[in-house]
Structure 1
């Protein structure tokens, strides 16, 4: 179904319209035809790929480092807890500096840095240090999506925010599926996860550096 405006008092009603493959294809075509949405799609593949790699392998990595399974689960929970503060903080910062692009770039650089820091974790590290790193990693690697969806809304053509969001989010799930798979494949053949963390961190920081070089995404006129 599709929302249509009913009157000036901002009330809405449903317009019955069957969902078809054509509608799904239209969302992807909208994204691929719009340079700004294409850029966000590539960003979402990379950022979401790092996010899901951290979520999927943090516990395995920490247990490989001889931490207990209970503590590794606690570290993952603390990382998710950090995401709560990240979404609020990054949203407030984007409003303050009037640039979601710069905020997303900062997020990408920091999530890369803290993922590398996580990769250096050793069994003799104090547990509170590991939890702090997990928390800071969660603020960035799990807290970026609020600002990201605001960018999609700004870049979408007038009246096409829902289609643009669905189209871009399709690509984010491509990253969510295939990047962790590649990460696990690499870890299996190398016998360790450190190199995988470094690779996804490097790609993410390169993407973030590129964001600093492009113009701000503004709402379509």
Structure 2
């Protein structure tokens, strides 16, 4: 029996809803773009804005956990999700469409940047260290599960009730979960700072991460892997619809299936890492499979059998969006006592930076090439660089015990 199942469930739920809200616009990009009269490929810039704000917001997640408590920080993130989705729905008014989407993206970025440090703090405090890779991987299944819901709910609901309907649903779900967490707040936030101490500054956590070579290398590898992950998720529907001729609903189902593969992969990789006692070795296996699969995707065309196309994208889901739990577990394991939230927030700063850079470059270069598929060769190269960094972190960290 895993200790702290309530905390795990709450942290996973927050992750599901914040991810759903972040990915709902990419999932309905062709439909929303058609209604608003803009290019669907611009969704890459919207995603980059969301994660650019999340990158900065994550630095304040650790200090907020110390001052307000991890539960309250999670609730605040959910309330920001509600506000961001409501703002995005205002894009139905032509005169304010783009400003509303831009402001909504900023608010959603703030919402996405806060929960991870809070979750790391709660999971380290209330769960069993012996199962840490599995526990963090279970929590991180919230990302592909949120993406799966975006793919299943988004296109169909947008076609049926209009593109604003999925956004309004996200707002209601976030508000409901924020309310349901309130009874646990006193217990989960019993260690929050209560006056008399100066709040910790984000720069302290950054210095801590960059002062440890293995943590620094892991964070730099996460910069690359986060960019890869978001390129896979953000452009999947656009690639399937515009490059390969799939219908929006079929593409949405494919996105959901890829996210399911990612959720299963996260649990499987986390279990393997705990079994081997070697997070780095597990990541190296994962990255090898990811590089090979990304190269294979460059060969897909509209004539490629649907089964083969589906299989390749499912393998991408089981690798390219399944690394996070092991990474976050290792970051938390290396954090000083009581500083898991702070160190996680600093490590995620580079992670979100990768998300900021990756989709924007993918969008810009893919637009020039008139196709996104050849760029999977660049994703394979980035994966190889991440492999080198993880291997170097393993050596510096002293093998199994170091990472």
TM-score, scaled to structure 1: 0.86
2:377 paired with 1:198: yes
Pairing 1:11-22 to 2, within 5 Å after superposition: 12-16=190-194
In structure 2, the residue matched to 1:100 is: 279
2:289 paired with 1:110: yes
In structure 2, the residue matched to 1:163 is: 342
CA contact (8 A) 1:36 1:155 kept: no
In structure 2, the residue matched to 1:81 is: 260
Q: Which runs of 5+ in 2 are unaligned?
A: 1-64, 70-125, 127-186
2:220 paired with 1:34: no
Higher helix share: 2
In structure 2, the residue matched to 1:69 is: 248
Greater length-normalized contact order (CA 8 Å, ≥ 6 residues apart): 1
Q: Which runs of 5+ in 1 are unaligned?
A: 4-9
Give the superposition deviation at 1:19.
8.3
2:383 paired with 1:179: no
Give the superposition deviation at 1:113.
2.0
Residues 117/219 of structure 1: CA separation in 2 closer, same or farther (3 Å cut)? closer
Give the 3-state SS of the residue equivalent to 2:229 in structure 1. helix
1:167-205 superposed Cα distances (whole Å, 9 cap, x missing partner): 001110000111111111111122222332111211212
Give the 3-state SS of the residue equivalent to 2:304 in structure 1. coil
CA contact (8 A) 1:106 1:208 kept: no
**Which whole-Å CA distance do the structure 2 matches of 1:13 and 1:35 have between them?**
30
1:64-117 superposed Cα distances (whole Å, 9 cap, x missing partner): 122222222221111101111111100111112211011112222222222222
Give the superposition deviation at 1:30.
1.4
Give the 3-state SS of the residue equivalent to 1:56 in structure 2. helix
**Which whole-Å CA distance do the structure 1 matches of 2:295 and 2:246 have between them?**
18
**Superposition CA RMSD, Å:** 2.4
**Which whole-Å CA distance do the structure 2 matches of 1:103 and 1:111 have between them?**
13
Q: Which of 214, 224, 227 does residue 46 from structure 1 map onto?
A: 224
User: What is the total number of aligned residue pairs between the two structures?
Assistant: 213
Give the superposition deviation at 1:210.
4.3
